[in-house]
Structure 1
Amino acid sequence: MTEQRTTAAGGMQTSYGFRQVADDEKQPLVDSVFHRVANRYDLMNDLMSAGLHRLWKDAMVAWLNPPRRAGWKVLDVAGGTGDIAFRIVDASGGNASATVLDINGSMLAVGRERAARRRLEANVDFVEANAEELPFPDETFDAYTIAFGIRNVPHIDVALAEAFRVLKPGGRFLCLEFSEVDMPLLDKVYEQWSFKAIPPIGKMVTGDAEPYAYLVESIRKFPNQANFAEMIRRAGFERVTFRNYSGGIAALHSGWKL
């Protein structure tokens, strides 16, 4: 059932879950998934993590520790619904300026609505663009965050290079992603939950199992913690570390542009 993970050398660009596709096919297929789940995005993450994604995201923002000063800027990539950006603005006492970038217009539409309801339009702006080709000058942001999005980027090495480019010297990179479970027994339980429960529940709740099947498979193809850390180093980041959450179901990687 489980397929071999890709390594630090790459391989995600032609992997749509367990299916091999042409290099130019993956992005449209992934876009289709998120158009279909945009209005159920929080539910999707609740299913994928048994609700733990909320705690992991809080831990991510706590480790980022955004300063309570005006002028500090963060780019949140693949964060269309605003989940991470809103947390960062709150943690900064309303001082941070967040740019949410996503390739998917449906996800961004959800984020804009949420920002308006929270009255955060002055703090958060939304940009539709590709993580592999960021529409910003060099050294624009103090921090770059991405949560549960990088495994959906076809050319992860290109996205990491772009993250390095747009960060200011001293800037911080943080990536939260589902990863490799490293606890005996938990790995078996999580495997059964992922493949046997999540797609059927997704179909019951949303009427569509296929996006959930892809998302489960994409987790198993994504590089493990050590291999992904090596990819971050290759992009130029230093002091690269990671923290496991819930036995490695998720991992939070950190790097610095020094």
Structure 2
Amino acid sequence: MSLTELALRNAVAGYAGTTVLENVDLSVKRGERVGIIGRNGAGKTTTLATAMGLTQQISGQVLLNGVDVSTMPTAERSRRGLGYVPQTRDIFKSMTVRDNLRTGLQGGPDARLDEAYALFPRLHERRNNFGNELSGGEQQMLSIARALMGQPDILLLDEPLEGLAPVVAQELMVSLSTFSSQRGLGCVLVEQHVGLVLDFASSILLLERGRPAFWGPTEELKKRPELLASAIGLKSNASSPASRSAAPQLA
């Protein structure tokens, strides 16, 4: 059965006996976009890692299409339709762009590479270059494209714009938005540029010290600027990447 929904239910998780997340709820279906925001150390990355089985899950549930996968390994969650782009990118720098993409095929046909090149034409131009010859933006494109080669239903993205020039960030987000709309890809986006997340996502999870301060429709959160200000400390920055207006960012 194809994955239609990822859900965390009262998830409590952490590392080496230390609790980082407490009672976190989140859900995203195919074609939906969810954003996770909060101060540094609030538990954003840990939320994605818990969904992928990369933390110590203490209690609660991680559900894929209604099936509790809390005890399943990361590889099995990937086979069931989860894709993950970590903050560290983790491309193979000694391999070409083409061979990096092939590692994400999971036995699928090479014809899928054409989809990656259509989404990111720059990767086609660099297909014979090694990973260590790519710019930061090109490495991020490659990391995302490789995750998409497995044809996930839900893609988890951990700060994909970190360190990128505004024009590259804009290009990346346009490609993601287009792919999500055209292919029904569900996305969970963790990103420091809060204004961008509010524009991208239909629902927002706002974390404060590992606990949910808000979970619901983005439009509802926009009506509560005092909640944003107190939970993450916003300032306006007109040069925020991928946003044409003054976008709130973490202070």
* Normalised TM-score (structure 2): 0.31
- Hey, which of these two has a bigger chunk of strand by percent? 2
- Hey, which of these two has a bigger chunk of helix by percent? 1
